[in-house]
């Protein structure tokens, strides 16, 4: 696992540790202003070519409307829906419209008044977008010279029953590896190219019925999406008939059947957060690529490459102690708990733990066994407790949630603290981990890693000290498995070293077309503060 390195910085007080897809628009029929205007098509031929649809000529009687209302009218009478990023268009802006046999392209130019915007007809969608800026040296990598159209889908995943956020829900394209993960508040942001407008998206989370809808359904700006709990009523006696140790043994034997047998390339978003007494002190983020070898035991040789990264930290802090998270990247390799079986998943350590079948839940329409485990008395080296989720049909390990048993934190100190001054005492308080996998076709791929730890740090002559907290999270957003090659030595990141020392300083609007975990509101505000905005 990763550890922390505490370094002393001389200070004044060395003793203190200091838009929108309008196919779903509601009927405009009841609008009180409809009586005063009408939109008339002029000689529109349904067989007209796709490229010509944006230049079809229409008439709009002299009227004043919001941009959104104009979109609704055009959509109603042309059967074309609008797709766009709501952040680039002011829907509430009032515009005067008077068009007599004028091209749709020209009308959009006048009401939007943004020469940077372009329009393209894709299927029955009018896609409004700002083309990505392509660097000259990247042009040869593009399949053609057409503008790259990227669309953003935003929303929040909530429990239908109690309206609570559902953290870490999966949002991904049906049958494809592209996707993202919601944050702790259930918020997500997914970036898709226009090639996927005809596809469908899945929203899923363990214990809930999954939601499957066309991509265009999700493109009506920020929305709340509700998932319904999916409970399997089952008698306790039926669960007890299953031997959890036998199931786990079979799950380990089935690794070759359920996980990739060839190298894969994972593109992921990675973030490290360090805070002191609930005040965020530093944030480091990156887009990573991970070369993963086949899931054939024994396994070695996984690599990480940093595609782009940024960091922000409280440089002017008066603290005399600085905490850095060491080997965070390496932790993302170690926490692939199927490839690197933790002690509670190895047969030689089964006698040190108690295992109990407790439940059956649903995930992505698959039924899962839930096995709880905890350390037995008399085994001081057994320090973890948590839950293991097994697919009932194939016994694939789909997720593990575990933590260091609070009663064993003292024994775990050396696992976390790699380096500290002798006059400082560090006491771990909490260490929690979450690892999930997602099924694509008939194989399971790493999906999410999250690690959260907290420590109480104090000088020997202090009474209370301060509480430091670290969060490490990685969400896989793309998977490739064809003709995957290892990284060159110079490309690979130094996974055992301090991550923040390998990336550049903070820059806003940084991620371009890459998907990332949307920061929670407190984190977003802290990043702006640390970034000097």
Counting every residue written for the chain, the total comes to: 533
Report the C-alpha gap between 434 and 503 in whole angstroms: 25
> Is pLDDT larger for residue 349 or for residue 27?
349
Lowest mean pLDDT among 91-100, 389-398, 440-449: 91-100
Give the burial class of 251: count Cβ atoms within 10 A of its Cβ; 0-12 exposed, 13-18 middle, 19 or more buried.
Answer: buried
Instruction: Give the bridge partners for 519, in sequence order.
Output: none
Which of 166, 169, 167 minimizes the C-alpha distance to 471? 167
Residue 92 near residue 66, CB atoms below 8 Å: yes
What is the band of 163 on the pLDDT scale with cuts at 50, 70, 90? Answer: very high
Give buried/exposed letters for 223-236 (b at 16+ CB in 10 A, else e): eebebeebeeeeee
The domain segmentation of the chain, as residue ranges, is: 3-17+233-530, 31-129, 150-227
Residue 304 near residue 293, CB atoms below 8 Å: no
pLDDT in tens, 319-350: 555 666 667 888 899 999 999 999 999 999 99
CATH number of 150-227: 2.60.40.1120
**Tokens describing residue 193:** 């190219």
Mean pLDDT score of the chain = 79
Q: What is the pLDDT of residue 33?
A: 32
pLDDT in tens, 502-531: 887 655 556 767 777 777 777 777 666 666
CA distances from 257 to 201, 295, 297, 381 (A): 27, 9, 12, 31
> Is pLDDT larger for residue 264 or for residue 321?
264
Q: What predicted TM-score, i.e. pTM, was given to this entire model? A: 0.73
Residue 455 near residue 416, CB atoms below 8 Å: yes
CATH H superfamily, domain 31-129: DotD protein (3.55.50.60)
Which of 454, 378, 446, 470 minimizes the C-alpha distance to 412? 454
pLDDT at 195 over 70: yes
Q: How are strands ordered across the β-sheet holding 81-84?
A: 81-84, 125-129, 118-122
Name, in order, each residue with C-beta under 8 angstroms of 52's C-beta and a sequence gap of 6 or more.
Answer: none
Q: What is the pLDDT of residue 19?
A: 33
Q: What is the pLDDT of residue 40?
A: 36
Q: What is the pLDDT of residue 461?
A: 77
pLDDT in tens, 109-161: 888 888 878 787 766 678 787 664 433 334 344 444 455 577 788 899 999 98
Q: What is the pLDDT of residue 136?
A: 35
Give the burial class of 111: count Cβ atoms within 10 A of its Cβ; 0-12 exposed, 13-18 middle, 19 or more buried.
Answer: buried
Over pLDDT 90: what percentage of the chain? Answer: 33
Residue 405 near residue 437, CB atoms below 8 Å: no
DSSP 313-378: E-TT---SEEEEEESHHHHHHHT-TTTS--GGGSGGGGGGEEEEEEEEEEETTEEEEEEEEEEPTT
CA distances from 14 to 284, 420, 423 (A): 27, 15, 11
């Amino acid at each position: 696992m990763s550890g922390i390195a505490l370094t002393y910085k001389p200070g004044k007080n060395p003793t203190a540790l200091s838009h929108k897809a309008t196919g779903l628009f509601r009927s405009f029929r009841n609008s009180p202003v409809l009586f005063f205007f009408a939109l008339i098509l002029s000689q529109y031929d349904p067989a007209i070519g796709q490229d010509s649809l944006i230049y079809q000529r229409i008439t709009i009687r002299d009227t004043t409307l919001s941009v959104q209302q104009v979109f609704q009218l055009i959509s109603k009478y042309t059967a074309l829906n609008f797709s766009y990023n709501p952040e680039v268009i002011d829907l509430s802006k009032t515009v005067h419209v008077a068009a007599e046999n004028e091209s749709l392209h020209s009308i959009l130019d006048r009401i939007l008044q943004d020469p940077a915007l372009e329009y393209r007809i894709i299927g029955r969608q009018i896609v409004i977008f700002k083309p990505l800026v392509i660097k000259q040296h990247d042009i040869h990598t593009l399949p053609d010279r057409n503008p790259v159209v990227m669309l953003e889908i935003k929303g929040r995943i909530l429990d239908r029953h109690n309206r609570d956020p559902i953290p870490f829900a999966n949002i991904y394209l049906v049958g494809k590896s592209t996707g993202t993960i919601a944050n702790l508040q259930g918020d997500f942001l997914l970036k898709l190219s226009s090639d996927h407008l005809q596809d469908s998206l899945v929203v899923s989370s363990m214990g809930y019925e999954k939601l499957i809808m066309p991509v265009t359904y999700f493109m009506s700006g920020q929305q709340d999406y509700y998932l319904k709990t999916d409970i399997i009523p089952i008698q306790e006696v039926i669960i007890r008939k299953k031997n959890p140790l036998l199931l786990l043994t079979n799950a380990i034997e089935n690794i070759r059947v359920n996980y990739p047998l060839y190298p894969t390339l994972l593109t992921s978003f990675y973030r490290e957060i360090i805070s002191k007494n609930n005040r965020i002190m530093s944030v480091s983020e990156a887009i990573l690529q991970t070369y993963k070898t086949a899931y054939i035991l024994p396994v070695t040789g996984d690599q990480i490459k940093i595609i782009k990264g940024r960091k922000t930290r409280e440089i002017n802090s008066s603290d005399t102690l600085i905490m850095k998270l060491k080997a965070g990247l390496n932790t993302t390799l170690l926490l692939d708990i199927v490839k690197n079986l933790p002690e509670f998943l190895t047969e030689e350590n089964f006698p040190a733990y108690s295992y109990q079948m407790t439940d059956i839940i649903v995930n992505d329409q698959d039924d899962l066994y839930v096995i709880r485990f905890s350390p037995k008395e008399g085994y001081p080296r057994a320090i973890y407790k948590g839950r293991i989720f097994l697919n009932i049909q194939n016994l694939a390990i789909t997720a593990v949630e575990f933590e260091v048993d609070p009663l064993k934190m003292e024994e775990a100190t050396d696992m976390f603290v790699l380096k500290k001054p002798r006059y400082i005492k560090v006491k771990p308080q909490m260490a929690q981990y979450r690892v999930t996998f997602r099924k694509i076709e008939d194989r399971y791929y790493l999906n999410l890693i999250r690690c959260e730890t907290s420590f109480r740090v104090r000088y020997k002559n202090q009474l209370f000290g301060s509480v430091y907290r670290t969060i490490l999270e990685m969400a896989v957003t793309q998977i490739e498995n064809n003709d995957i090659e290892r990284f060159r030595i110079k490309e690979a990141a130094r996974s055992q070293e301090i991550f923040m020392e390998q990336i550049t300083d903070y820059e806003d609007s940084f991620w371009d077309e890459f998907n990332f975990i949307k920061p929670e509101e407190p984190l977003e505000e802290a990043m702006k503060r640390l970034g000097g905005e």
